Amino acid sequence: MKRYTSFTSWKAAAFLVLLGAAISTFSAPVDPTTELGVAGPGSWAVLSSGNFSLSDPSGYIHGNLGEATGNFTDGGSAGVSGTIYLGTGIGHTTVAGDTVMQPSILPASALTQAGTAATYYNGLTADFTSAPTAGSVTPGVYKITGDWSPNGGTYTLQAGQVYVFDISGNFKPSTAASGLFFTDATPGDVIFNVSGDVQSSGGSSTYPMIDGILLAQGSVSLTPGYVNGEIISDTSSINIASKGAVQGLPSVPDSGATLLLMSMGLGLVAAAKRCLMS
């Protein structure tokens, strides 16, 4: 009996150690690529639920594009390098070389997941309650009240670390005499979760360059601006013009069944992490 009790106690102690390690491992916010799941940069460079417009000079998108509602216009000479997935009834103007799949339920399904991710990030506890300044930026959750309008400078983010910028107003990155850079070697770990609009602007030779995912409840305008990662407008339109560009890292969604399985799997992973965090 004593041996059995000792062995049982040993198992219980080992379980507690492993549980403590798991809780410690998942104490940080879920990284955006995992939390977004089928809405993330592994599947899309751009997701829109309103009108979408791409125009010259030099506007381009490298990756897949999904639009659930509205109208689609590609007037850029470089066009869209990936597949364009359009919802039912969307009118579209394309250029030579564009590949269009219509009707597709994938954009609407992905945007539902994007909305869930926005809610999750809005609910996180803040590590910082003001916007960072240029220079080396500490990882964590930044709760920024009102608009954030960084104008020039280099914000250096640590590779492999999760950054959440929850912005209750508009995000308005711009440049003046100097460029504006948000640099991160792992852009899938960075999310700008914006309750309002994203309005990127600059000059003929300088414009904001952002590594990360822009997730906006309002509209997104890159006129100009360069995003290495993904842009999502959960409820409104996207306009890319005047050297605006998105460099995605797409893995083409090959079928609705595959995306459904991915969504279920990643959703369970994210849910498990959140349970361990609670």
Higher pLDDT, 62 or 268: 62
How long, in residues, is the chain?
Answer: 278
236 and 218 in contact (C-beta within 8 Å)?
Answer: yes
Closest CA to 236 of 110, 117, 67, 33: 67
Strand partners, 201: 174, 223
The single-letter code of the amino acid at 216 is A
Supply 231's token pair: 């842009």
pLDDT of residue 10: 43
Percent with pLDDT over 70 in the chain: 80
Residue 162 has pLDDT above 70, yes or no: yes
Tell me what the mean pLDDT of segment 261-270 comes to: 42
- For residue 146, is pLDDT > 90? yes
Phi, psi of 28 (to 5 degrees): -80, 160
- Alpha helix (H) ranges present in 48-182? 106-122
**For residue 209, what pLDDT is reported?**
96
Task: Work out the mean pLDDT of the chain and round it to a whole number.
Answer: 84
**Both ends of the chain: CA-CA distance in Å?**
37
- Among residues 229, 189, 220, which one has the least CA distance to residue 63? 229
Of 94-103, 118-127, 251-260, give the lowest mean pLDDT range: 251-260
Rounded to two decimals, what is the model's pTM? 0.81
Q: How confident is the model at residue 96 (pLDDT cuts 50, 70, 90)?
A: confident
Of the candidates 208, 194, 201, 187, which has an alpha carbon nearest to the alpha carbon of residue 236?
194
Question: At 27, is the pLDDT very low, low, confident or very high (cuts 50, 70, 90)?
Answer: low
Q: Write the DSSP symbol of residue 187.
A: G
Cβ within 8 Å of residue 150, ≥6 positions away: 131, 134, 173, 174, 180
Is the Cβ–Cβ distance between 223 and 206 less than 8 Å?
no
Comparing CA positions, the residue from 153, 142, 146, 147 lying closest to residue 176 is 153
Can you tell me the distance from the alpha carbon of 42 to that of 100, in angstroms, rounded to the nearest whole number?
Answer: 19
Q: Is-contact 189 165, C-beta < 8 A?
A: no
Task: Yes or no: say if 76 and 55 are a contact pair by the CB < 8 Å rule.
Answer: yes
Angle at 82 between CA 213 and CA 31, to 5 degrees: 25
**CA gap 202, 221 in Å, rounded:** 12
Q: Phi first, then psi: what are they for 18, rounded to 5°?
A: -65, -40
Local structure of residue 189 (DSSP, 8 states): G
Lowest mean pLDDT among 18-22, 45-49, 62-66, 138-142: 18-22
Say what the pLDDT of residue 251 is: 60
CA distance 222 to 48: 14
3-state secondary structure of 237: coil
Check: CB of residue 248 under 8 Å from CB of residue 230.
yes
